[in-house]
Amino acid sequence: MRQPVRVLLVEDDRNLRAAVRAELVAAGFEVTGAGDLAGADAELRRGGFACVVFDRMLPDGDALDYVRRRRLAGWDARVLFLTARDRAADRVDGFTHGGDDYVVKPFSMAELTARVRSLCRPGGSRPAVLRFADLEIDCARRETRRAGVLLTLSGREFSVLEHLAVRPGQAVSRTDLIEHCWDESADPMSNVVDAVVKRLRRKLREPNLIHAVRGHGYRLGFAEPAS
């Protein structure tokens, strides 16, 4: 029988820790909780965790400094920072000091679960920079360039483009995009995805790289040859 993947959740807010733990357990993970760095350290000495989700600011210190020290000592578990710090510089710090992913509060539980699942897959740490054709998406800096030109995207536009770029050539449903790029209040029956994609296409310019998949959603790729 396959053993469940073990995740350590380090969050000092008990209610949030319980909610996230319940979501991850429902997704099939075995989750251990800790409320501070000392508790995390004790759990990590026992070993066996595929991924650790750290709140940045904990009662006994900044998890970023803790992760940096452990990385220098050769620690290789996947790390996701969960934090209210949403500046681009904070995200860059998170990646350069040993994080594999960075989720900003408030967040979608579905997105967090998907990101943890991605990190726990063999080789699951995605590259910091995603590239397709002449498109370059810097996930750490949240910057996008087309043919070397820096584009000005909103946070939502960047999230949608990033989600499409993680799976180039694959059809991504509108429901999937809403679950990963919007909060839980978004109406899955609305045209919010289509509106964002329309703006993205305009900003990315020609040739178009985002294509509609009839009855499903969108994909990032080249145009299908005419039949």
Domain borders along the chain are 6-120, 129-220
Using CB atoms within 10 Å of the CB of residue 148, give its burial: 0 to 12 exposed, 13 to 18 middle, 19+ buried: exposed
Q: What is the pLDDT of residue 25?
A: 94
CATH code for the domain defined by 6-120: 3.40.50.2300
Nearest Cα residue to 27 out of 100, 126, 101, 120: 120
Q: What is the pLDDT of residue 10?
A: 96
pTM, 2 dp: 0.56
**Distance between alpha carbon 208 and the CA centroid of its chain, in Å?**
25
CA angle (196, 198, 201) in 5-degree steps = 110
Q: What is the pLDDT of residue 227?
A: 39
CA angle (98, 103, 107) in 5-degree steps = 165
Q: What is the pLDDT of residue 163?
A: 84
Q: What is the pLDDT of residue 189?
A: 56
**pLDDT truncated to tens, each residue of the chain (227 aa)?**
456 789 999 999 999 999 999 999 999 999 999 999 999 999 988 878 889 999 999 999 999 999 888 877 767 788 999 888 777 777 777 877 788 888 888 888 888 898 898 888 765 455 667 888 888 888 767 889 998 899 999 888 988 998 888 777 888 888 888 877 776 555 555 688 999 999 999 999 999 999 998 888 898 887 754 43
36, amino acid identity: D
Q: What is the pLDDT of residue 186?
A: 53
Task: Indicate if 129-220 has the same CATH topology as 6-120.
Answer: no
Domain 129-220 bears CATH identifier 1.10.10.10: yes
Q: What is the pLDDT of residue 122?
A: 62
| ω into 207 cis (within 30 of 0) | yes
Give the C-alpha separation, 126 to 118, whole Å.
Answer: 8
